[in-house]
């Protein structure tokens, strides 16, 4: 009998690679724990593991004894809704401490009575006022910060508020490359995972037979562009497709199941990603998807028969959405071979 499929794409407890990112966040926690304040920005293309990584960060933060309210921003979220969500999360954390006996009920009630929180500055001040000398620090987590209205303006506001108090940190995730970051913001990019990290994930997942063949591993890795979400999803479909008793997942299995893989990816997220692009952006995507090598702005503009300025703007938009990536010498390519294949098939 074949073992249950170990490649569960939605199992975010298993993170591929990212050890250097966890070390950087551990240093950030030490920085805040020492009485400093600042912000940690986690940036990456869709599927790079931002949400699972920020959840791991939050677990580390809680383990270190920080208050760690966490929310996911909705589309067109305003600051007042962000503050309200963080307030509710803090309420829950305080009540958990009351239930565990580590905090008197009076303090939690005093914080909850501050219903009219208003601003982020007021929220932090009320938390300090409520906890007094027992306040050890707080790390606020905001996932999908791209959804926030005027996010760069709000980022600067959050940075200013954080700098006014000791032991206050913010961690946010974004796909966009943020410009003109304040000095107290540390940005860390979630790039593609290395091939050895993917191999480590494979070996830990397939502890028994079947194993995955060398050519299959290389083909899956190259076509996925090192994107963790794509790697997990492709492996999940491949494992599901093999027959009981087969000992090796081969390159032939991968080729035979390509249509099934592309159909799944199109429904799950590549289709939504492509639909979010404007018609002009789709035209550029098709040019990059058909190219045999990364293209510079000048080369792309030449194929479109357009001026470089507007084309550069469109390329930057696509990069901000995570659909293309900039590689050596300012050239661009589609973020993965599988997405390039999907774009080519759209005609």
Q: How far apart are CA 221 and CA 315, in angstroms?
A: 25
How do beta strands 138-143 and 168-174 pair?
A: parallel
Closest CA to 184 of 23, 30, 40: 40
Name the token pair of 215: 């050519």
pLDDT at 106: 80
Find out whether 139 and 169 touch, Cβ atoms under 8 Å: yes
DSSP, collapsed to helix, strand or coil, labels residue 137 as coil
Are the CB atoms for 32 and 169 separated by under 8 Å?
yes
Q: What is the pLDDT of residue 285?
A: 96
pLDDT of residue 343: 96
Please give the angle made by the CA atoms of 37, 57 and 106, to the nearest 5 degrees. 65
> So what's the pLDDT on residue 22?
92
Nearest residue to 153 via CA among 194, 132, 182: 182
pLDDT attached to residue 313: 93
pTM of the model: 0.86
| Residues 127, 204: Cα–Cα separation, whole Å | 43
pLDDT of residue 71: 93
CA torsion sign for 304, 308, 311, 315 is: positive
Give the pLDDT means over successive 10-residue stretches in the chain (347 positions): 80 84 93 90 89 92 92 87 90 86 80 75 84 78 89 85 88 83 83 93 89 96 94 94 89 95 92 93 95 93 91 91 86 95 91
What is the C-alpha separation between 198 and 231, in angstroms, rounded?
8
Q: Which neighbouring-strand residues pair with 55?
A: none
Alpha helix (H) ranges present in 191-275? 195-205, 214-224, 228-241, 251-256, 258-265, 271-275
C-alpha distance from residue 177 to each of 121, 138, 316, 318, 319 (Å): 26, 26, 9, 11, 8
């Amino acid at each position: 009998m074949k073992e249950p499929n170990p490649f569960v794409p939605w199992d975010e407890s298993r993170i591929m690679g990212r050890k250097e990112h966890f070390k950087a966040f551990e240093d950030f926690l030490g920085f805040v724990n020492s009485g400093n304040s600042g912000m940690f920005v986690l940036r990456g293309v869709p599927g790079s593991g931002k949400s699972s990584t920020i959840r791991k960060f939050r677990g580390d933060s809680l383990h270190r004894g920080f208050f760690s309210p966490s929310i996911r921003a909705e589309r067109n979220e305003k600051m007042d809704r962000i503050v309200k969500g963080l307030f509710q999360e803090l309420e829950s954390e305080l009540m958990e401490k009351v239930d565990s006996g580590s905090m008197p009920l009076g303090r939690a009630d005093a914080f909850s009575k501050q219903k009219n929180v208003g601003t982020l500055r007021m929220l932090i001040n009320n938390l300090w006022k409520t906890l007094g000398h027992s306040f050890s620090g707080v790390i606020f987590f905001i996932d999908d910060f791209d959804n926030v209205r005027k996010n760069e303006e709000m980022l600067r506001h959050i940075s200013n508020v954080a700098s006014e108090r000791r032991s206050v940190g913010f961690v946010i995730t974004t796909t966009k490359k943020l410009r003109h970051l304040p000095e107290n913001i540390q940005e860390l990019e979630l790039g593609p995972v290395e091939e050895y990290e993917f191999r480590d994930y494979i070996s830990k997942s397939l502890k028994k037979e079947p194993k995955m063949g060398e050519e299959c591993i290389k083909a899956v890795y190259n076509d996925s562009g090192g994107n963790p979400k794509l790697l997990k999803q492709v492996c999940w479909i491949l494992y599901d497709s093999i027959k009981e008793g087969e000992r090796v997942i081969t390159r032939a299995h991968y080729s035979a199941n390509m249509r099934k893989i592309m159909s799944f990816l199109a429904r799950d997220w590549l289709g939504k990603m492509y639909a979010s692009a404007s018609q002009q952006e789709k035209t550029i995507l098709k040019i990059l998807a058909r190219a045999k090598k990364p293209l510079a702005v000048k080369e792309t503009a030449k194929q479109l028969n357009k001026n470089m300025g507007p084309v550069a703007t469109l390329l930057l938009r696509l990069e901000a959405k995570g659909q293309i990536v900039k590689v050596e010498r300012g050239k661009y390519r589609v973020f993965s071979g599988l997405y390039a294949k999907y774009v080519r098939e759209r005609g």
